[in-house]
Chain A
Amino acid sequence: KNQVEQSPQSLIILEGKNCTLQCNYTVSPFSNLRWYKQDTGRGPVSLTIMTFSENTKSNGRYTATLDADTKQSSLHITASQLSDSASYICVVSAVASGTYKYIFGTGTRLKVLA
Protein backbone atom coordinates (compact mmCIF):
# COMPACT_ATOMS: atom_id res chain seq x y z
CA LYS A 1 0.00 0.00 0.00
CA ASN A 2 1.34 3.42 -0.98
CA GLN A 3 1.82 5.54 2.13
CA VAL A 4 3.66 8.66 3.17
CA GLU A 5 4.25 9.29 6.86
CA GLN A 6 5.61 12.49 8.31
CA SER A 7 7.04 13.27 11.69
CA PRO A 8 6.76 15.03 13.95
CA GLN A 9 3.10 15.92 13.62
CA SER A 10 3.80 19.34 15.11
CA LEU A 11 6.87 21.24 16.20
CA ILE A 12 7.54 24.46 18.09
CA ILE A 13 10.96 26.10 17.91
CA LEU A 14 12.48 29.46 18.74
CA GLU A 15 13.38 31.92 16.04
CA GLY A 16 16.89 31.41 14.77
CA LYS A 17 17.02 27.71 15.59
CA ASN A 18 17.34 24.90 13.08
CA CYS A 19 14.91 22.02 12.69
CA THR A 20 14.49 18.87 10.64
CA LEU A 21 11.26 17.35 9.42
CA GLN A 22 11.03 13.71 8.41
CA CYS A 23 9.16 11.91 5.64
CA ASN A 24 9.08 8.13 5.26
CA TYR A 25 7.34 6.55 2.32
CA THR A 26 6.33 3.23 0.89
CA VAL A 27 5.47 4.24 -2.66
CA SER A 28 6.18 2.20 -5.74
CA PRO A 29 7.15 2.74 -8.45
CA PHE A 30 8.76 5.90 -7.12
CA SER A 31 8.97 8.89 -9.44
CA ASN A 32 9.83 11.89 -7.30
CA LEU A 33 9.34 13.49 -3.92
CA ARG A 34 8.36 17.08 -3.25
CA TRP A 35 8.23 19.18 -0.16
CA TYR A 36 5.54 21.85 0.01
CA LYS A 37 4.99 24.71 2.41
CA GLN A 38 1.40 25.61 3.18
CA ASP A 39 0.63 28.82 5.02
CA THR A 40 -2.62 28.88 6.93
CA GLY A 41 -5.54 29.50 4.59
CA ARG A 42 -3.38 29.28 1.47
CA GLY A 43 -2.58 26.65 -1.10
CA PRO A 44 0.68 24.69 -0.82
CA VAL A 45 3.77 26.04 -2.53
CA SER A 46 6.55 23.78 -3.80
CA LEU A 47 9.90 24.07 -2.01
CA THR A 48 11.97 21.28 -3.54
CA ILE A 49 11.67 18.28 -5.83
CA MET A 50 13.86 15.22 -5.52
CA THR A 51 14.19 12.46 -8.08
CA PHE A 52 15.56 8.98 -7.47
CA SER A 53 19.15 9.91 -8.22
CA GLU A 54 19.29 13.08 -6.12
CA ASN A 55 20.47 13.02 -2.52
CA THR A 56 20.35 16.68 -1.56
CA LYS A 57 18.69 19.79 -2.87
CA SER A 58 18.61 23.25 -1.38
CA ASN A 59 16.30 26.22 -1.74
CA GLY A 60 17.58 29.06 0.36
CA ARG A 61 17.36 28.07 4.01
CA TYR A 62 15.55 24.85 3.10
CA THR A 63 17.59 21.72 2.39
CA ALA A 64 15.94 18.46 1.44
CA THR A 65 17.63 15.08 1.48
CA LEU A 66 16.53 11.81 -0.03
CA ASP A 67 17.66 8.27 0.71
CA ALA A 68 15.99 6.13 -1.92
CA ASP A 69 17.31 2.92 -0.34
CA THR A 70 15.65 3.50 3.02
CA LYS A 71 12.80 5.50 1.45
CA GLN A 72 13.33 8.45 3.72
CA SER A 73 13.48 12.16 3.13
CA SER A 74 14.13 15.07 5.41
CA LEU A 75 13.62 18.81 5.19
CA HIS A 76 16.10 20.87 7.17
CA ILE A 77 15.30 24.48 7.93
CA THR A 78 18.23 26.64 8.91
CA ALA A 79 18.07 29.76 11.04
CA SER A 80 14.29 29.65 11.29
CA GLN A 81 12.21 32.79 10.89
CA LEU A 82 8.73 33.63 12.11
CA SER A 83 7.52 33.37 8.52
CA ASP A 84 8.53 29.70 8.48
CA SER A 85 5.49 28.98 10.65
CA ALA A 86 3.38 26.81 8.36
CA SER A 87 2.50 23.25 7.51
CA TYR A 88 5.09 21.29 5.54
CA ILE A 89 3.78 18.55 3.33
CA CYS A 90 5.73 15.72 1.75
CA VAL A 91 4.25 14.44 -1.51
CA VAL A 92 5.54 11.34 -3.26
CA SER A 93 4.58 10.56 -6.81
CA ALA A 94 4.45 7.17 -8.46
CA VAL A 95 4.09 6.62 -12.17
CA ALA A 96 2.75 3.54 -13.85
CA SER A 97 1.73 3.18 -17.47
CA GLY A 98 2.18 6.90 -17.93
CA THR A 99 -0.25 7.78 -15.16
CA TYR A 100 0.95 9.77 -12.16
CA LYS A 101 -0.41 9.12 -8.69
CA TYR A 102 0.32 11.51 -5.86
CA ILE A 103 0.42 10.39 -2.27
CA PHE A 104 0.29 13.12 0.34
CA GLY A 105 1.77 12.98 3.80
CA THR A 106 -0.28 14.28 6.71
CA GLY A 107 2.08 17.20 7.16
CA THR A 108 4.12 18.70 9.96
CA ARG A 109 2.84 21.89 11.56
CA LEU A 110 5.76 24.11 12.44
CA LYS A 111 5.44 27.10 14.72
CA VAL A 112 8.37 29.48 15.15
CA LEU A 113 8.27 31.66 18.24
CA ALA A 114 10.03 34.98 18.77
Chain B
Amino acid sequence: GAVVSQHPSRVICKSGTSVKIECRSLDFQATTMFWYRQFPKQSLMLMATSNEGSKATYEQGVEKDKFLINHASLTLSTLTVTSAHPEDSSFYICSAWGGAAAGYTFGSGTRLTVV
Protein backbone atom coordinates (compact mmCIF):
# COMPACT_ATOMS: atom_id res chain seq x y z
CA GLY B 1 0.00 0.00 0.00
CA ALA B 2 0.93 3.65 -0.25
CA VAL B 3 3.41 4.80 2.36
CA VAL B 4 4.35 8.34 3.29
CA SER B 5 7.56 8.73 5.26
CA GLN B 6 8.15 11.82 7.36
CA HIS B 7 11.40 12.83 9.07
CA PRO B 8 12.44 13.66 11.66
CA SER B 9 9.86 12.31 14.05
CA ARG B 10 11.04 14.61 16.81
CA VAL B 11 13.19 17.72 16.80
CA ILE B 12 14.18 20.22 19.44
CA CYS B 13 15.69 23.48 18.28
CA LYS B 14 16.71 26.79 19.74
CA SER B 15 14.60 29.84 19.23
CA GLY B 16 15.67 31.74 16.12
CA THR B 17 16.97 28.74 14.21
CA SER B 18 15.36 27.01 11.24
CA VAL B 19 14.11 23.44 11.02
CA LYS B 20 13.45 21.37 7.91
CA ILE B 21 10.90 18.54 7.84
CA GLU B 22 10.86 16.05 4.97
CA CYS B 23 7.89 14.19 3.57
CA ARG B 24 8.45 11.40 1.07
CA SER B 25 6.05 9.19 -0.85
CA LEU B 26 7.86 5.85 -0.86
CA ASP B 27 6.10 3.78 -3.49
CA PHE B 28 4.07 6.25 -5.46
CA GLN B 29 4.35 9.66 -7.02
CA ALA B 30 2.59 12.59 -5.45
CA THR B 31 2.12 15.75 -7.46
CA THR B 32 0.35 17.24 -4.48
CA MET B 33 1.20 16.95 -0.81
CA PHE B 34 -0.44 18.61 2.14
CA TRP B 35 1.04 20.01 5.34
CA TYR B 36 -0.94 20.10 8.57
CA ARG B 37 -0.36 21.41 12.04
CA GLN B 38 -1.95 19.91 15.09
CA PHE B 39 -2.08 21.33 18.60
CA PRO B 40 -2.69 19.02 21.58
CA LYS B 41 -6.19 17.57 21.67
CA GLN B 42 -7.17 19.45 18.55
CA SER B 43 -7.85 18.34 15.01
CA LEU B 44 -5.56 18.73 12.06
CA MET B 45 -5.33 22.21 10.56
CA LEU B 46 -4.33 22.48 6.93
CA MET B 47 -1.42 24.86 6.52
CA ALA B 48 -0.62 24.60 2.86
CA THR B 49 -0.89 22.52 -0.28
CA SER B 50 2.43 21.67 -1.84
CA ASN B 51 2.49 21.37 -5.63
CA GLU B 52 5.34 19.71 -7.49
CA GLY B 53 7.17 22.20 -9.65
CA SER B 54 5.19 25.23 -8.58
CA LYS B 55 4.53 27.45 -5.59
CA ALA B 56 2.66 26.13 -2.61
CA THR B 57 -0.82 27.34 -1.80
CA TYR B 58 -1.11 28.59 1.76
CA GLU B 59 -4.22 28.69 3.90
CA GLN B 60 -5.41 31.99 5.27
CA GLY B 61 -3.40 33.08 8.27
CA VAL B 62 -0.34 30.94 7.49
CA GLU B 63 2.82 32.97 6.88
CA LYS B 64 4.43 31.74 3.70
CA ASP B 65 7.74 33.41 4.53
CA LYS B 66 7.88 31.61 7.84
CA PHE B 67 6.79 28.19 6.64
CA LEU B 68 8.75 27.59 3.46
CA ILE B 69 7.56 24.69 1.32
CA ASN B 70 9.53 23.10 -1.47
CA HIS B 71 8.19 20.30 -3.66
CA ALA B 72 11.08 19.73 -6.03
CA SER B 73 10.24 16.17 -7.05
CA LEU B 74 7.24 13.87 -7.33
CA THR B 75 8.25 12.03 -4.17
CA LEU B 76 9.57 14.74 -1.86
CA SER B 77 8.14 17.82 -0.20
CA THR B 78 9.88 19.77 2.55
CA LEU B 79 8.57 22.20 5.13
CA THR B 80 11.09 24.60 6.66
CA VAL B 81 10.11 26.50 9.77
CA THR B 82 12.27 29.60 9.66
CA SER B 83 13.34 31.63 12.68
CA ALA B 84 11.42 29.29 14.93
CA HIS B 85 9.84 30.57 18.10
CA PRO B 86 8.35 28.66 21.05
CA GLU B 87 4.84 29.29 19.73
CA ASP B 88 5.79 27.27 16.65
CA SER B 89 6.11 24.20 18.85
CA SER B 90 3.53 21.79 17.53
CA PHE B 91 2.92 18.49 15.75
CA TYR B 92 3.38 18.78 11.99
CA ILE B 93 1.97 16.13 9.64
CA CYS B 94 2.21 15.73 5.90
CA SER B 95 -0.01 13.71 3.62
CA ALA B 96 -0.42 12.74 -0.01
CA TRP B 97 -3.07 11.12 -2.14
CA GLY B 98 -2.01 7.51 -2.42
CA GLY B 99 -4.67 6.41 -4.88
CA ALA B 100 -8.25 5.21 -4.58
CA ALA B 101 -7.41 2.23 -2.40
CA ALA B 102 -5.05 3.91 0.06
CA GLY B 103 -6.65 7.31 -0.08
CA TYR B 104 -5.30 10.24 1.77
CA THR B 105 -2.15 8.77 3.32
CA PHE B 106 -0.47 10.51 6.22
CA GLY B 107 3.10 10.63 7.39
CA SER B 108 3.86 9.70 10.97
CA GLY B 109 4.26 13.32 12.01
CA THR B 110 7.03 15.49 13.44
CA ARG B 111 6.98 16.80 16.99
CA LEU B 112 8.72 20.19 16.97
CA THR B 113 9.78 21.77 20.23
CA VAL B 114 11.34 25.20 20.16
CA VAL B 115 13.21 26.16 23.32
B interface residues, how many (CB within 8 angstroms): 21
Q: In the complex the two chains form, is A89's CB within 8 Å of B43's CB?
A: yes
- What is the bound-complex CA distance between A36 and B36, given in angstroms? 15
- SS class, residues of chain A in contact with chain B: strand
Q: Which of A82-103 contact B (CB under 8 A)?
A: 89, 91, 93, 100, 102
Q: Roughly how many angstroms separate A49 CA and B44 CA in the complex, as a whole number?
A: 19
Name the residue on A nearest B2 (C-beta).
A46
CA distance A43 to B46 in the complex (A): 14
Whether the pair B108, A43 counts as a contact (CB closer than 8 A) is yes
Q: A43 and B41: CB pair below 8 A?
A: no
- Contacts beyond the supplied A36-B106, A41-B109, A44-B44: 12 A-B pairs with Cβ under 8 Å: A34-B103, A34-B104, A41-B111, A42-B109, A43-B106, A45-B106, A89-B43, A89-B44, A102-B104, A104-B44, A104-B46, A109-B41
Chain A contacts to B: CB under 8 angstroms: 34, 36, 41-46, 49, 89, 91, 93, 100, 102, 104-107, 109
9 chain-A/chain-B pairs, Cβ below 8 angstroms: A34-B104, A36-B106, A43-B4, A43-B108, A49-B103, A93-B104, A100-B97, A104-B44, A106-B42
